[in-house]
Each structure stands twice: as structure tokens, then as C-alpha cells.
Amino acid sequence: MNFHVYDTTLRDGAQQEGINLNVADKLAIAPLLDELGVGFIEGGWPGAVPKDTDFFARAATELNLKNAVLAAFGATRKVGVRASEDKQVRALLDSQAPVVTLVAKSDIRHVERALKTDGPENLRMIEDTVQFLRAEGRRVFIDAEHFFDGYRFDPQYSRDAVLAAFGAGAEVVCLCDTNGGMLPHWVTDIVGEIREATGGEGILGMHAHNDSGCAVANTLAAIDAGCEHFQGTINGYGERTGNVDLVTTVANLELKYDRKVLAGNLDDATRISHAIAEITNISPFARQPYVGASAFAHKAGLHASAIKVDADLYQHTDPTLVGNDMRMLVSDMAGRASIELKGKELGFDLSDKPELLTSITNRVKHSEASGYTYEAADASFELVLIEEVTGERPEYFQVQSWRAIVERQGRRGTEAVSEATVKLLIGGERIVVTGEGNGPVNALDAALRLALEKAYPETAKFDLIDFKVRILDQEHGTDAITRVLIEATDGQTAWSTVGVGANLLEASWEALTDSAIYGLIHAGVNPL
């Protein structure tokens, strides 16, 4: 029996607050899931959701899945209606999906209060719908909704629902912790009892939500107890606190259980996780296990000293196995070992240079005491290294002056206009440029790039993509120190710089100029 990795990002994951996937989004995500190597991709609920009906219609001609099988989600027939005459059931056939996953009630309370019918009729609804779809040539999976809560209330009825589904020809019965409140030992006991009741026949699955913070643990417990199918979402997307994170779960299965469950390569996981995050427009969670930017980031000096000897001493697995990488964070907690490892990461060999290491370490600690942070500003830290190692940073330009003006004419409510003027010396030539923007920082960015483009056309590719402001020493109110972090890109790579100043514009100007210098260095441009 092959283990089933079943992805429900396009349906259950799309129910997360803040996610709104259109058909084009789904058609872009599905090939990424297929590349990762999941076995099944649940595309949505055709017949109930118009855009899901459209998705399956387009998927039939536009998707060329190599590893995954497309599944359509729906419900068992309605009370008192023949399965062959139920419009929702017919829509599942019309979707052309080779697998149909049916949600079925397995908690007697939901049967009586939500469906407003009795237990025997619900079992007939399960049996009739499964038999009809099987006769039409479909593989049928059952999602036993609210199974665990129902089992704890009335074990016999929930067990009967599972047995009815298998008896009618369902290939999989997936036990759903719909409310997400289970704990691992409860899951172990219940799955074990159901596995015994089925006599080992049929494939049991697990569908976990994370409301108790135990979704991954509950899924692994279910697998240990006999489940050979689990349903999850990329990045743990889903309503409330989310579904089980599919990537975390498969990484645990492949790296900890030594069990190959993906048809693709696990070292694509970080790239694919982040690519899907871009499509959903949900920022990647830095502390997400395995694939988060901070998953293998080390800050404490004690850790760095040990990592110099053996990286495995402070990492539970090799980050490259999931396509991630180890990162050293430079902060006021950093010791010489952290600086040395971070320097090596950035291409600077600081070994056997104790005086230089001490100088850099002291500079970092002093800078952070003044409000700087290099944890999320690798580009600024690299400029520090260049200055300390070579004695100076490349001088692409000299700043004569800069200013920004925000002007609003007329009465309150009219749009303000932001304008910035930058005066630079580049290669002995004085350049004066004025730029406009949506706010003074945007205007400064525009003016600086316009000035630099005259001498360094490479800067035309640079683009500011993120801007964060933090007010330090907040008790000083508007007189507080301001720290700005900006992220820029040249279309191929991205980098981050930090600026600190007495006000927003001073801090922003430092971060902007550092960003331009870093970009020119890495573009291989020599100063004029």
C-alpha cells in the first residue's frame, strides 16, 4: 500500500482569513504542489462554488500533473434525495476529477442538529453516494467530519459511519479533527480502536486542525496508530489557527521516520513553500519549522562557538535537506565565533585574525547599543565587514545635500505632494535631481535613483520592495530615535539595509544610500 499525501491547500487552506484565491491562482499553485510530489490535490467544491467549477473545467485542459491526482470535494447526497438525482453529486461527476472526496457526518449530534435527520438515514446517505460514484468509475474518499469529537460522544455511531463507508466501497476514510481540539494520546487510542474495528481493511486517514497546537503531533500519532493517508495544507493555511502544515509533516516523515512519502524531492520544499506564499500574498512565517527563514538561524554566541566545531550540535537536521540554509544572526549577543561564521557566509575569511574579529565584534555591539540591528540587514553588515577588512567602503558618490518637502495646497482633505532634491558628486561631476513620490521617503528614493542612473545605469534595475519603521525610546515621543529597515531588489536577488537617525527621513536616507552602494558592489560596478 502506498502512503497518501493529500493536499487541501486549494480548498481548506483557502478558507484562511486574508486568503482569496482566484482560478488563476489555483492554476499556478497546483503545478507547484505537483512538483513537490504530493499524491493528491484537492481543487475545491465544484457545483457549490462557481470559481471551483471553473477551476476544474480549465484544469482538464490546462493542467498537466505528473505526480498528483486531482480530487473534487463535495458532500453526500441530501436527505431524501437519490444520489443520482442530487445536483451537487452530479457536479462532482461533471468535474472530471478521478477522485471524489465526500464530507460525511460521523457525529450523531451533527446528524440530528445540522442535517436534521436520524442516524440510519445518514448512514444510507453515505452508502448511496459512495456506491453511485463508484459505479460511475470514480475513486471515492470519505472525510468523516467531526469524527474525533463524535467518537468521544458516541463511539458506536462514529464507528458505524466508518464501516458504512468502507462497506459501500470507499477507498479511504479520513478521520477529521474538525474542531482541532484533540491531543496526541487521544488520537492514538481512537485510531487504534477504529483500525481494530475495520479488521485492517481499507485505508484510514487523518485530517488535523491546529486549534490545540498539536496538528503535526496528532497527525504523526495517527500514522503511528495505522493511518496511511493524511491531509494537510502548505504552510499550515486554513481557517482559525490553520490545518496541519503539510511540509512540516512530510519533512518529519522523511527525515525522522526515514520514510519516503513524496514523489518529488524534499529539498524543493523551502522554494515551493515560499513561492506559494507569494501567490497567496501571505508573508512567509519566519519561524515556520524546516522552511522558515529563522528555522536554522543562530544568534547566541555560545551556539556559534559550538557550530564552528560541528554544525549538528545545535541543529536537529541538515537544513539543505529541505532546501533551506543555516544563518548566523549578528547582534549584541554575538561573540567572535558568530562574527567569524557570518563573515564566512558572506565570503570573508576572518579565521586567524583575532584583532580584526575583536574590532568588528565591538563595532557591532556599539552600533546595536545605538539602535542598529543587523539580524535582518545582511547588506548593511556586509558593508561593515568591507570597511573593517579593507579600511574603507567603495565611494560611488559623495552627498552634498538632500531635502524632502511635503506640500498640501488648499483645504483639508486635498492630496499632499511629496518632492525631494538630491545633490551628489560623482566622478567629479555635480548632479542635482528632483524626484516626486508617494510620501517623502518614496520621493527621496526616486530622486536618489534618478541621480545615480546618470552615472551608473545599473541602478535602473534597483527597486525598493519593503519598508519598515520602528520608533526606539518611545517614552521620548516624537523626539525618539527612529530605525528603518528597507529591502531592495535588482530583479534577481534581494537585500536589506538598516538606517538609524533622529527622525524618519535621516534613518531612511542612510538605509537608501547603503542599499544603493551594496547593489552597485554586487553588480560588479567600479566607482567613477
In angstroms, the CA 391 to CA 291 distance is 37
Average pLDDT of the chain?
90
For residue 353, is pLDDT > 50? yes
Residue 109 has pLDDT above 90, yes or no: yes
- Residue-wise pLDDT for 127-146, tens only, equals 999 999 999 999 999 999 99
4 DSSP β-pair partners = 229
Task: Report, as an integer, the average pLDDT of 30-53.
Answer: 96
pLDDT score recorded for residue 332: 44
Q: What is the 3-state secondary structure (H, E, C) of 134-147?
A: HHCCCEEEEEEECH
| Lowest mean pLDDT across 61-75, 141-155, 282-296, 496-510 | 282-296
Over the stretch 368-416, which tens digit does the pLDDT of each residue have?
778 887 767 888 988 988 888 888 889 999 999 999 999 877 666 667 8
Q: Are 344 and 360 in contact (CB under 8 A)?
A: no
- Residue 498, C-alpha cell as written in the block: 538598516
State the pLDDT at residue 310.
64
Mean pLDDT, to the nearest integer, of 292-301? 73
Choose the weakest-confidence range: 32-46, 51-65, 265-279, 313-327: 313-327
Rounded mean pLDDT, 236-251: 98
Per-residue pLDDT at 311: 65
pLDDT for position 512: 96
Closest CA to 176 of 88, 81, 110: 110
Close Cβ partners of 341 (under 8 Å, ≥ 6 residues apart): 304, 307, 308, 328
Cell of 449: 535613483
| pLDDT score at 494 | 87
Residue 350 has pLDDT above 80, yes or no: no
Residue 377 is predicted with a pLDDT of: 81
Q: What is the pLDDT of residue 40?
A: 98
d(CA 319, CA 247): 14
Q: Residue-wise over 157-183: b if at least 16 C-beta within 10 A, else e?
A: bbbbbbbbbbbbebbbbbbbbbebebe
pLDDT in tens, 403-450: 999 987 766 666 788 999 999 999 999 999 999 988 899 999 999 999
- Please check the confidence at residue 308 and state whether its pLDDT lies above 60: no
Alpha helices in 44-198 (DSSP H): 50-62, 87-94, 108-113, 119-135, 147-153, 155-168, 184-197
Compute the distance between CA of residue 16 and CA of residue 474 in angstroms, rounded to an integer: 34
Q: Where in the chain is the domain with CATH 3.20.20.70?
A: 4-280
CB-CB contact of 462 with 446 (8 Å): no
Percent of the chain whose pLDDT exceeds 90: 68
The 10s digit of each residue's pLDDT in 12-29 is 999 999 999 999 999 999
Architecture of the CATH domain 398-409+416-522? 2-Layer Sandwich (3.30)
Amino acid at 150: G
pLDDT at res. 244: 98
C-alpha grid cell for residue 194? 477504529
**Per-residue model confidence (pLDDT) at position 479:** 53
- What does the pLDDT read at residue 284? 81
More confident residue, 330 or 38: 38
DSSP three-state, residue 229: strand
| Paired residues of 472 in beta bridges | 481
SS3 7: strand
What is residue 180's predicted lDDT score, i.e. its pLDDT? 97
Residue 247: pLDDT over 60:
yes
**What amino acid occupies position 398?**
Q
| pLDDT digit string, tens, across residues 169-196 | 999 999 999 999 999 999 999 999 999 9
In this predicted structure, the answer to whether residue 33 has a pLDDT above a threshold of 90 is: yes
CA–CA dist 528, 398 (Å, integer)? 11
In this predicted structure, the answer to whether residue 303 has a pLDDT above a threshold of 60 is no
Question: Which one-letter amino acid corresponds to residue 60?
Answer: A
Do 109 and 153 form a contact (C-beta atoms < 8 A)? yes
- What's the average model confidence in pLDDT over 56-80? 96
Find all residues with CB under 8 Å of 7, minimum gap 6, and list them.
Answer: 33, 38, 40, 41, 42, 68, 231, 232, 233, 234, 246
Residues of the chain with CATH 3.30.160.270: 398-409+416-522
Report, as an integer, the average pLDDT of 71-82: 97
Residues 6+ apart with CB under 8 A from 253: 3, 220, 223, 259, 261
pLDDT band at 516 (very low <50, low <70, confident <90, very high): very high
Architecture (CATH level 2) of domain 4-280: Alpha-Beta Barrel (3.20)
- pLDDT of 250 higher than 60: yes
Q: Looking at residue 364, what is its pLDDT?
A: 80
Distance CA 39, CA 261 (A): 9
Q: Reduce the DSSP state of residue 360 to 3 states and report it.
A: helix
* Residue 365 pLDDT level (bands cut at 50, 70, 90): confident
Whole-angstrom distance, CA of residue 171 vs CA of residue 198: 13
Residue 495 has φ and ψ, to the nearest 5°, of -145, 155
What does R_g of the chain's alpha carbons equal in angstroms?
29
